[in-house]
Chains A and B, each alone.
Chain A
Amino acid sequence: MVKYLVKRIVLAIVTIWAVATLTFFLMNAVPGGPFLSEKAISPQATAALEAKYGLDKPLIQQYFTYIGDALHGDFGDSLKQRGRTVADIIGMKFPVSAKVGGISVLVALIIGSLLGCIAAINRGKVMDSIVSVVSTLGIAVPSFVLCTFLLFIFGVKLKWLPTMGLSTPAHYIMPVIALAFYPTAYIMRLMRSSMLDVLGQDYMRTAKAKGLSGKAQLFKHALRNAILPVVTYVGPMLAYTITGSFVVEKIFVIPGLGGEFIGAIQGRDYTLIMGTTIFLAVLIIVMNVIVDIVYKIIDPRINLK
């Protein structure tokens, strides 16, 4: 267990370092600098600004300075949004994204596993067919297609739901549906097949033979085993939600981290690019490690190696 933990954590640190290094050199390979696009700025002023942020030094030196600062938890100031640190911007924008993403993840987990279970129990009946059609469709519809359809039907035609921003609970409905649809469909599929697998196991027959009620069989024996593959999917689902939020935030004009990231790249805001990339990478990787460890704790059959 300890050996496994150490291995996972070392791998996670190496990955985060690789992401940071790749990002650093990639973004510096993009021509143009953060201060080039601004109007009415003399070359002297540009040079002064570059000197202030250390951009005049050799790239390698900049890299080591940045990594050193980052290790101390200092991600620097934003080059474009003067007077604000990268940590401030992330601290302001991330909660917005996290709220939408978190609700979507919860919705997907609950609805997905519920419908998957129902489909498996009613195998071959109408409910099963409905679930399999929905899950096949859900995997084939890209999030931006779904977003635009929702926007058109409920926002433009019926005018039931607000289309921009996040000020009231009603604003959350469409972004959450758009973000949760794909993971819900995927979890339904996963849950259905794992439930069918569990229902065919010997211990289920034993439970039935010793006279347990249907409810006890289902909740104490079947569900607890069938939910395991869904747990492993939580990590990838989180990554998907963050990715998907780029598009969803663009369409529904949500002031979240995704839009900030794209804007930072377009404006060559080096420190903000580095900050958001490292932040999101750490988030995804740490969640993946936690999910893996939790999975191995709740399922003793998995050997830790």
Chain B
Amino acid sequence: MTKNPLSAHIRLNPEDFAPASDAQKASQVVMRESVSFWKDGFRRLMRNKVAVVSAIVIILIMIFAFIVPLFYPYKYEVQYKNANNLKPFTYSAEEQARIDAGEKVFPHVFGTDKMGRDYAIRVMVGTRISLLVGIVATAIILVIGSLYGSIAAFFGGWVDIIMMRIVDIIYTIPDILLIVLLSFALKAPLNNLAATPGFTWINKVGPNLISIFIVFALLYWVGMARMVRSQILTLKESEYVTAARALGVGRGKIIKKHLLTNCIGTLIVTTTLQIPSSIFTESFLSFLGMGVAVPLPSLGSLASDAINGIGTNPHLLFIPAIVICLVILSFNLLGDGLRDAFDPKLKD
């Protein structure tokens, strides 16, 4: 049959009705591969140079605090004979004699303190204690605060009102007064508890450290609770949650996919910014003599001990002070970077 150019007749082949091949399907997709929340945030974070540098500094400090002491030839609580108040890279008479005899002696990189303890290892262990306090206290705050906040937001109504009034009251209590009082009040019960079998670990950690944690658990979660509550309240009313509900998405999936995912950015940021503030409070308390138990050092107590010898041995003060500043600064800057990356809405 010859083709008539003027005919409107369409000639069809059976192949025209075959399902599209994968290659054909792929050519129809115009959208990019979907980027997950984490990938997107991480990419934005990596573009922020200040945040990346802070993260590297934090990792270095953690290596310094947790890994280096394992290989370090000195112990933080051991007092070396005749090695009191050594300047950095100097040796006591006995060590000098051993060096002269051809032995290799590891130098006291930061010198020693007035009790003859190697200062470098004390700073490392002190950094470890301060970091641990910051992280554990923040974990406590995170759990209590987010649970409390989400329960208040979830139930709403009078439960919410009562719970938030309690938060208001705790929020206005001048915290430092109570911290000082609490750490004194908790000392004796904790000491008694430490004397009973099964709780002897308390002595090792120091009753003061435990009371610091208790104080954080009692007072400092309110900021987190407020944050989470307001976040969930707004999210609950947002259009995409309504849309998801209209599409028949189940309650569990809404919580998991929409509420939680959108909260996590805020939680990460608040947590990262809470860590330096916990370290700050711990070093403040240690400085006032209410921190960790001797011989355990923390950055605050190291600085506090060094004040009396500030004229002769200023490096004993400057080293822990600089480490505190470095830790707080890098956590703050990383927190700011995380906020920009994961929670652009919060940016001022």
Minimum Cβ distance to chain B for residue A261 (Å): 7
Minimum Cβ distance to chain B for residue A51 (Å): 24
Query: Do A281 and B173 touch (CB < 8 A)?
Result: yes
Q: CB within 8 A of B310: which of A31, A141, A152?
A: A152
**Which DSSP category, helix, strand, loop or mixed, fits chain B's interface?**
helix
In the docked arrangement, what's the CA distance between A273 and B165, Å? 27
Assuming the contacts A19-B174, A281-B173, asked whether A148 and B180 have C-beta atoms less than 8 A apart, the reply is no
In the docked arrangement, what's the CA distance between A219 and B117, Å? 59
Chain A 62-85 near chain B by CB (<8 Å), digits 1 or 0: 000000000000000000000000
Minimum Cβ distance to chain B for residue A298 (Å): 21
Assuming the contacts A246-B288, A250-B288, A273-B181, asked whether A136 and B321 have C-beta atoms less than 8 A apart, the reply is no
Asked if B337 is at the interface (CB within 8 A of a chain A CB), the reply is no
Query: Do A30 and B169 touch (CB < 8 A)?
Result: no
Query: Do B180 and A152 touch (CB < 8 A)?
Result: no
Minimum Cβ distance to chain A for residue B193 (Å): 13
Smallest CB-CB separation from A25: which chain B residue?
A: B185
Asked if B324 is at the interface (CB within 8 A of a chain A CB), the reply is yes
Chain A 125-147 near chain B by CB (<8 Å), digits 1 or 0: 00000000000110111111100
Query: Do B317 and A152 touch (CB < 8 A)?
Result: yes
The segment from A7-15, A89-97, A101-109, A111-119 that touches chain B is A7-15
Chain B 171-209 near chain A by CB (<8 Å), digits 1 or 0: 011111110111011011100000000000000000000
The segment from B40-48, B59-67, B276-284 that touches chain A is B276-284
Minimum Cβ distance to chain B for residue A239 (Å): 6
In the docked arrangement, what's the CA distance between A247 and B174, Å? 16
Minimum Cβ distance to chain B for residue A69 (Å): 20
Q: CB within 8 A of A239: which of B174, B188, B329?
A: B174
Asked if B157 is at the interface (CB within 8 A of a chain A CB), the reply is no
Chain B 148-183 near chain A by CB (<8 Å), digits 1 or 0: 000000000000000001001100111111101110
Query: Do A11 and B177 touch (CB < 8 A)?
Result: no
Query: Do A277 and B177 touch (CB < 8 A)?
Result: yes
Query: Do B317 and A148 touch (CB < 8 A)?
Result: yes
Query: Do B173 and A18 touch (CB < 8 A)?
Result: yes
In the docked arrangement, what's the CA distance between A241 and B310, Å? 25
Assuming the contacts A144-B284, A242-B174, asked whether A136 and B333 have C-beta atoms less than 8 A apart, the reply is yes
Asked if A280 is at the interface (CB within 8 A of a chain B CB), the reply is yes
In the docked arrangement, what's the CA distance between A19 and B181, Å? 11
Query: Do A23 and B303 touch (CB < 8 A)?
Result: no
In the docked arrangement, what's the CA distance between A247 and B180, Å? 12
In the docked arrangement, what's the CA distance between A42 and B280, Å? 45
Collect the chain A residues with CB atoms within 8 Å of residue B348's CB. Answer: 193
Asked if B53 is at the interface (CB within 8 A of a chain A CB), the reply is no
Tell me the count of chain B residues lying within 8 A, CB to CB, of chain A.
Answer: 41
Asked if B127 is at the interface (CB within 8 A of a chain A CB), the reply is no
Chain A 243-268 near chain B by CB (<8 Å), digits 1 or 0: 10011001100000000011001100
Smallest CB-CB separation from B280: which chain A residue?
A: A142
Minimum Cβ distance to chain B for residue A192 (Å): 10
A contact residues, range: 35 or more
Query: Do A280 and B177 touch (CB < 8 A)?
Result: yes
In the docked arrangement, what's the CA distance between A144 and B307, Å? 10
Minimum Cβ distance to chain B for residue A193 (Å): 5
Collect the chain A residues with CB atoms within 8 Å of residue B300's CB. Answer: 144
Query: Do B333 and A247 touch (CB < 8 A)?
Result: no
Asked if A288 is at the interface (CB within 8 A of a chain B CB), the reply is yes
Asked if B311 is at the interface (CB within 8 A of a chain A CB), the reply is yes
Asked if A174 is at the interface (CB within 8 A of a chain B CB), the reply is no
Asked if B325 is at the interface (CB within 8 A of a chain A CB), the reply is yes
B residues sitting closer than 8 Å to A (CB atoms) are 165, 168-169, 172-178, 180-182, 184-185, 187-189, 276, 280, 283-284, 287-288, 300, 303-304, 307, 310-311, 314, 317-318, 321, 324-325, 328-329, 332-333, 348
Supply 20 further A-B pairs (C-beta < 8 A) apart from A19-B177, A143-B284, A281-B177. Answer: A15-B169, A19-B173, A19-B178, A26-B181, A26-B182, A136-B332, A140-B332, A142-B280, A142-B324, A142-B325, A152-B310, A156-B310, A193-B348, A242-B176, A246-B176, A247-B288, A265-B184, A266-B184, A277-B177, A284-B174
Among all A-B residue pairs, the 9 with the closest Cβ atoms = A140-B329, A243-B176, A145-B321, A31-B188, A140-B328, A26-B185, A29-B185, A193-B348, A15-B172
Question: What are 22 A-B contacts defined by CB distance under 8 Å?
Answer: A11-B168, A11-B172, A15-B168, A15-B172, A19-B174, A23-B178, A23-B181, A140-B328, A140-B329, A141-B328, A143-B284, A145-B325, A148-B321, A156-B314, A242-B174, A243-B176, A247-B287, A247-B288, A265-B184, A266-B184, A280-B174, A288-B172
